[in-house]
Amino acid sequence: MIFGNAAWGLRETPLEKQFEITAGMGLKAIEIGIANAPMDIALNATDAELTDILKLSEEYGVKMLAAATGNDFTTGTEDIEKIKRVIDICKKLKIDNLRIFAGFTPLDKVTDEIFDTMINSLTSVCNYAKEKEVVPVIETHGAVDGYDDGVVHTASTTTDIKTLKKIMNLLPDNAKLCFDPSNLYAVGVKNPEIFFEEFKEKVAYAHFKDFKKLPSGHLKPSYCGDGDIDWNKILNTMKNFSGAALFEYENVEDVEDGLMKCYNYIKRLQNAIAMRNAECRMRNYGD
């Protein structure tokens, strides 16, 4: 598994600093934001500006593995042209994967008409992405309501396993997934690793973060290991995954510290799992 950093936690961090932080952690991969947050690459970025970004990637030795943008295809088709422009930028930046969303309408409010609009919009984007040799990557993400002390996630079309199966069966073959176990856990999926098992052939990469439950019942974004999610199960399920897991610590005020906590925690667990597996093999060999 390759490790890197995701875009959302770095949304208020200048682009060069994002590369610097990632390289300073000893990581070689990053997800770059495009037209979704304050420090993102703009839709009207010039070729000269994009060339400078490519130079930063080379200078810091950090590959732009993916880009991330914002959209909601459960509210209409308005975002299609935006996503096509983002795909064009990905092509120029030599970025293979573009993280998009299906939409944030709660599942129980998704009518047949809304679902059809979502599928048609995603299909249009997938077809355009195929022409440009960019992989469209749909994140497992629920609907979100924000509060003063945190957030509440509710089920959407991509956090319900039956609905997600239907979506992936209807979309062109080039559609892939960004597996985010914490987003799934936040909507009540107690064993998000089941999603990985079901869709592992479709998972392009993953987001790793956590949510801490507050006394109010709301969730506060946090670092891996600070919530109730069972990361041992997730890492064991993903042990043969050769793609990337990108750390998505979401709190901008201490993002460097939070990203490092994510990385250190996951690496400790990974090393412990490897040691246990080695001991098990030795015992079996002795028998």
Question: Domain ranges in the chain?
Answer: 2-286
Q: How far is Cα 190 from Cα 237, in angstroms, rounded to an integer?
A: 14
Quote the pLDDT of residue 273: 84
Quote the pLDDT of residue 287: 55
Cα 194 to its chain centre, rounded Å, is 17
Beta carbons within 10 angstroms of residue 139's beta carbon:
18
Quote the pLDDT of residue 286: 58
Beta carbons within 10 angstroms of residue 197's beta carbon:
10
Q: How far apart are the first and last CA of the chain?
A: 31
| pTM score of the predicted model | 0.95
CATH architecture of 2-286: Alpha-Beta Barrel (3.20)
Tokens of 144: 């979100």
Q: What is the 3-state secondary structure (H, E, C) of 208-240?
A: ECEEEECCCCCEEEECCCCCCCCHHHHHHHCCC
pLDDT in tens, the chain (287 residues): 999 999 999 999 999 999 999 999 999 999 999 999 989 999 999 999 999 999 999 999 999 999 999 999 999 999 999 999 999 999 999 999 999 999 999 999 999 999 999 999 999 999 999 999 999 999 999 999 999 999 999 999 999 999 999 999 999 999 999 999 999 999 999 999 999 999 999 999 999 999 999 999 999 999 999 999 999 999 999 999 999 999 999 999 999 999 999 999 999 999 988 877 766 666 666 55
DSSP string, 255-280: HHHHHHHHHHHHHHHHHHHHHHHHHH
- Provide the edge-to-edge strand list for the sheet that holds 210-213: 143-147, 150-154, 219-222, 210-213
Asked if 16 and 56 touch (Cβ cutoff 8 Å), the reply is: yes
Asked if 188 and 155 touch (Cβ cutoff 8 Å), the reply is: yes
